[in-house]
Amino acid sequence: MNRREDIVKELQDAAPILAAYKATESLPAVPENYFAGLEDSTMAFVVAEGGQWTATSAVQVPEKYFEQLEDAVMANIKAQEKAGTSGKTVRLSIGYTLFARMAAAAVLAGILVLTIFSDRTALPVSDCQDGIACLTQEEIYNYMQQNSHEFGVEQIQETVAPALEQTTTAIATEEIQDYLEQEQLYLELDDASTDIF
Amino acid sequence: MPTTDGEILELFNHPDTREKGFRLLLQTYQERLYYHVRRYVHHHEDANDILQNTFLKIWKSLHGFRGDAGLYTWLYRIASNEALSYLQQQKKRGIVPIDSVQTGSNTDGESAEKMAARLQYALDSLPDKQKQVFIMRYYDEMPYEQMAAITDTSVGALKASYHHAVKKIEQILTA
């Protein structure tokens, strides 16, 4: 029994009309000489659309890339070792990064408001003579606010913690709300994720 | 002497003989692939569009063919997917065949051409996956095992799908 007979037999019980159709089946009509010209027309089409093939057309690599790759990789490894950055860097997901940035924005906004409501209590000032230890907390805050993308949430929290401890915390929520409305100092989501950071 | 798939691939994978290899592929498989995609659509022009796009994809990706399946199985899968994709595009554009015939008749005294048109109309009512299975089995007379290799579906699932398709078409033809 050939395959066509198998198929007709398979149909006879479930679909007798379809089985009868199968017996009279013929190939669809095709324009005259269609197949005779198909090879050339297809070849013309694929070359026009797909381009002429070259040995490197599948993946394009810059000239002399592989000749220079070994030296470039080794130089990169040495530079990494010299910088002492042998630890693996794990990039945070976008969602977490956005959350972290917004948390940092909230912390900074909070300290700003609290500082103002505490009659602008002076930030601790270092009495050193030179070097980075001479930076005031205010300078550090300003720098962190302007370059907050370089800092993690924990770093920001650690930095603002001393100021929070010295700040009057007995501020009613309503007072904060009023102040924000007066100063139009409200943060929107887009601001927090783009403008501020 | 008939061309083998190995010869086609060997020629195609060499830059100097690539076009020759592809022409041999066309000569060997173009008619079979044409009649396969032709079953999905009503008009030759649509089938030709699908076929040209199929061959373009083959031209671009044949160098990556690893030979896990037979060459024809691989080509057939591309053609079949291209046909389904074409139908989906047509649906999105709201294009429906305008030469559909009425249902409700029997095979007595009906021309083969009219029967084919009636069957094509019934085929249009099937979901894409069932249509694909029906075309493979009914028109292309493919064994279930080969269908399974092409569609990445189990033989049991294909038989069930074909059964549903056949029942639905029979129902339309007898309505």
* pLDDT single digits (tens) A106-145: 766 766 666 565 555 455 554 555 555 566 667 766 766 6
Please tell me the distance from the alpha carbon of residue B49 to that of residue B26, in angstroms, as a whole number.
Answer: 15
Q: Taking CB atoms and an 8 Å limit, are A31 and B31 in contact across chains?
A: no
Higher local confidence (pLDDT), B151 or A172: B151
- What residues of A are in contact with residue B166 (Cβ under 8 Å)? 11, 14-15, 18
Q: What pLDDT was estimated at residue A14? A: 86
- What residues of A are in contact with residue B52 (Cβ under 8 Å)? 41-42, 45-46
Per-residue confidence band for A95, with pLDDT thresholds at 50, 70 and 90: low
A:B CB pairs within 8 Å? 96
Higher local confidence (pLDDT), A190 or B153: B153
The pLDDT of residue A18 is above 60: yes
The pLDDT of residue B84 is above 60: yes
- What residues of A are in contact with residue B60 (Cβ under 8 Å)? 50
- What residues of A are in contact with residue B51 (Cβ under 8 Å)? 38, 42
Q: What pLDDT was estimated at residue A6? A: 86
A54-87 pLDDT, tens digit each:
444 444 556 676 667 677 777 777 787 787 755 5
Per-residue confidence band for A192, with pLDDT thresholds at 50, 70 and 90: very low
Q: Which of A8, A18, A49 to mutate to test the interface with B (most CBs of B within 10 A)?
A: A18
What number is the average pLDDT over the span A3-11?
86
pTM: 0.58
CA atoms within 13 A on the CB side of B90: 20
Please tell me the distance from the alpha carbon of residue B52 to that of residue B55, in angstroms, as a whole number.
Answer: 5
Q: Which of A3, A6, A9, A39 to mutate to test the interface with B (most CBs of B within 10 A)?
A: A39
Give the percent of chain A with pLDDT over 70: 36
CA atoms within 13 A on the CB side of B51: 26
CB B115 within 8 A of CB B105: no
Residue of B nearest to A17 (CA): B170
Q: What pLDDT was estimated at residue A186? A: 43
The pLDDT of residue A194 is above 60: no
- What residues of A are in contact with residue B119 (Cβ under 8 Å)? 18, 21
Q: What pLDDT was estimated at residue A58? A: 47
Quick one: tokens of B13?
Answer: 């994978």
Q: What pLDDT was estimated at residue A59? A: 45
Name, of A34-38, A55-59, B96-100, B111-115, the range with top average pLDDT.
Answer: A34-38
CB B135 within 8 A of CB B37: no
Distance to chain B for A15, nearest Cα, Å: 6
Question: How far apart, in Å, are the Cα atoms of B39 and each of A138, B131, B154, B159?
Answer: 76, 9, 23, 20
- Lowest mean pLDDT across A84-98, A153-167, B59-73, B133-147: A84-98
DSSP state of A194: I
Q: What pLDDT was estimated at residue A195? A: 36
Q: What pLDDT was estimated at residue A115? A: 59
Q: Which amino acid is at A9?
A: K
Q: What pLDDT was estimated at residue A135? A: 63
* CB nearest B56 (choices: A26, A34, A46): A46
* Residue among A150, A110, A41 nearest B45 (CA): A41
